[in-house]
Structures are given as C-alpha cells and as structure tokens.
Amino acid sequence: MISIHQALSEIEKNNGSAALCTVVKSEGSTPRHVGSKMLVYPDGKFIGTVGGGDLEHRVLDEAWMAIADGKPRLLSYTMSDPSRGDPGVCGGQVEVFVEPILPAPMIVVIGAGHVGKAVVHLAKWLGFRVAVSDDRPEFCTPESIPDADAYYPAPMEKLTEQLKVTRRTYLVVTSRGSGVDAAGLPSLLESSAAYIGVIGSKRRWATTVKALKEKGVSEEKIARVHSPMGLELQAETPEEIAVSIMAEIMMLKDKGSGKPMKG
C-alpha cells in the first residue's frame, strides 16, 4: 500500500482527480485524531481512514461530491446519538476538511494557425494545461508549437477518440474554414466540454450552423457553441484575438461579469 503523500504525487503527475479528507478537529472520544487523512478516488477506491463506520461513509459521499463540483467543504459531526442522525456513539465531536484535488483545466486548441499558436502560448502562460490538434501533422509538432503539453495530429471529428474531454476541458476551434468545422463539431458537441468556441465571423458561423442542421445536429447542441468566440476588444492581430478568447474563457470559468472594473 502506497502512502497518501506518494499517491498525491502520482495524481499530480498523471493529472488525476481525488479528494483529500483530513480530521482538523477532534474533541472528546472520537475514532481518529487530528491530522488523520483519507484520500478518495473518483472510482470509489480510497487510502487511509478518518474513522470507519457511518462517519467514514458520510465523508466518502461528500468527497465524491467535492470531486464532482470542485468545492471544498468543512464537515462537522457529533458522535452521540444515532437516533438523532449522529454517525456514532463515541460521545465526541469531529470536523473533517474535504479538499478536492483536481488537474489544471485544459485548453484544447484545434487548428494550429497563427491564432491557434497565440492561444496556445497565452493559455500556457495563464496556467492551463494545453493540447493542440490539427489534421495537418506538420503543423502539430513541438517544433511548430513548442508551448503545448500534448499534440493530436488528427481530423477534428476523430479527436475525441484520442483525447478524453471532461468538464474541465475548454475547446478552442481556430480552424481554417466552415467546412472543417461542420465536419468536426458534431463529435465535439457530444462531449462534456466546459466550453466550445469557434473562430470566425457571424456569416461563417451561420454557414456552419446550416450545415450542422443538415447533418441532424439539434439546435440545443448547436447553442452550446460560442461563435464568434471571445470578448469584443476590437482585436485584430493573432495575439489580440488570443487575449479576447482567453478573456471569455476565464470569465466563464470563474463566473466573472466581463464588465469594466470602474463604476
């Protein structure tokens, strides 16, 4: 059995998820002392213990919810009277802090042109994990785009077969045309991505929407797409457009308003 600290190192190395549960307060008679830890994985496995029994079952349930919603929680339990809903009869009180351990959110840039390169560079600087994909292998290499963490030289419609898209994945489509988008978006729209943005003018997006509907894609799925993507900054250069795109993603991720700070 590996230690919790070793397990945490492996989780970070592999960009995994878990929840670390720590006893932070213990008064009177309780199953475990302050500092006792339990590491909970999304698949139901766990290492360590915070006390066993009903107490531990309740903490496990909260840990899985923390992994799902990304929010820490401080749990307080009185161990006196199970008839009142207490998780034990020890007579003491215990508090457990549950901390979700989640990988950095991932930006996936689909289309390795000038804007795509600028988005990769900026997203990496902002602390995101970054992957880049392009159906032209020569454009999707560390030599061409040195800032990415992973490379997927594949058509857009095949990307989800190679890359696991989660609720912490932000898809930035900077492809070279509406035809590429219409072919590739249906599979992306079936994913659980937190964000799907497509570059281009309103006219280009209208053309793509028409093609998607002809393929049988529902309006509900199409409505997930942000296009034209980004905040209105009157951006022109690839670098300025990248700032516009990343500003929108950060606003949505952190539930910002996008309004000026002044006034």
Report, as ranges of residue numbers, the positions in the chain whose pLDDT lies below 50: 81-87
pLDDT value for 246: 97
Is residue 262 a part of any domain in this protein?
Answer: no
Count of domains observed in the chain: 2
Q: How far apart, in whole angstroms, are the C-alpha atoms of residue 94 and residue 33?
A: 9
Q: Is the dihedral of CA 78, 83, 87, 91 positive or negative?
A: positive
The radius of gyration of the chain's CA atoms, rounded to the nearest angstrom, is 23
- Where do we find the tokens 């066993």? 52
pLDDT value for 262: 85
For residues 132 and 157, state if they share a domain.
yes
Q: Are 124 and 150 in contact (CB under 8 A)?
A: no
For residues 80 and 188, state if they share a domain.
no
CATH number at residue 242: 3.40.50.720
For residues 65 and 92, state if they share a domain.
yes
pLDDT value for 219: 95
pLDDT value for 30: 65
Instruction: For residue range 189-210, list pLDDT tens digits in order.
Output: 999 999 999 999 999 999 999 9
For residues 123 and 76, state if they share a domain.
no
Global pTM? Answer: 0.81
Out of 101, 127, 142, pick the residue that ends a domain.
Answer: 101
For residues 51 and 151, state if they share a domain.
no
Q: How far apart, in whole angstroms, are the C-alpha atoms of residue 212 and residue 185?
A: 8
For residues 61 and 129, state if they share a domain.
no
pLDDT value for 42: 92
The domain in which residue 72 lies consists of 15-101
